Amino acid sequence: MKLSIEQGDITTYAVDAIVNAANCSLLGGGGVDGAIHRAAGKQLLAECRTLHGCETGKAKITKGYQLPAKYVVHTPGPIWRGGNHNEAQLLANSYRNSLAVAWEHGCRTVAFPSISTGVYHFPLEQAADIAVQTIAQFLQTHPDMERVTMVCFDHATYQAYERAVKRL
């Protein structure tokens, strides 16, 4: 299985690309977004300013600057608004489009945070199912992708993704 579930800090991962759970401005925020910008340095924000934002579920790529990762893929996940506003499809789009843009840039090792399950309040168990299913589908159609890692910041998130992998 090329999908790994780990607990840790995504800013320390020396992979080809880490994914940032960004907001649509791409100009930084709290949570994992703030941590990535702090670790990457001011040049990341400067490059993000040239991108003119990003729609929910789409993805844009920058260099990683002072991060150990070569690239950062920025994707705004959906804000949870009760579940009848296409949230599930939009979250799947974030994972799929992030993998696609990383792949196009030659990335073969990619690490994700748990998109939308922080301040965007997407229910964790459902988000974990969508994440692992979408990543597994991508791995099936892209056999040269070497490894995709879900980097869970806290233990409850780690356990939810472990359960989701067992349900695959």
Name the site residues for ligand ADP (rule: CB under 6 A).
9-11, 21, 31-33, 35, 77, 113-120, 151, 153-154, 157
Question: Quick one: 64 or 77, whose CB is closer to ligand ADP?
Answer: 77
- What is the sign, positive or negative, of the torsion defined by CA atoms of 147, 122, 152, 104? positive
Please state the closest distance from residue 67 (CB atom) to ligand ADP, in A. 11
Question: Quick one: 62 or 157, whose CB is closer to ligand ADP?
Answer: 157
Helices (H), ranges, the chain: 31-40, 42-49, 87-104, 124-141, 155-167
Beta pairing partners, 151: 6
Distance CA 14, CA 68 (A): 5
Question: Quick one: 88 or 142, whose CB is closer to ligand ADP?
Answer: 88
Listed in sequence order, the residues at least 6 apart from 60 whose beta carbon sits closer than 8 Å to its beta carbon are 26, 51, 54, 73, 74, 75, 101
Please state the closest distance from residue 141 (CB atom) to ligand ADP, in A. 25
Please state the closest distance from residue 144 (CB atom) to ligand ADP, in A. 26
DSSP-derived letter for residue 80 is P
144 among known catalytic residues: no
Question: Quick one: 62 or 149, whose CB is closer to ligand ADP?
Answer: 149
Distance CA 42, CA 38 (A): 8
Tokens 């799929």 label which residue?
A: 96
Please state the closest distance from residue 128 (CB atom) to ligand ADP, in A. 10
The active-site residue, picked from 9, 16, 33, 154, is 33
**Which residues are known to be catalytic?**
33
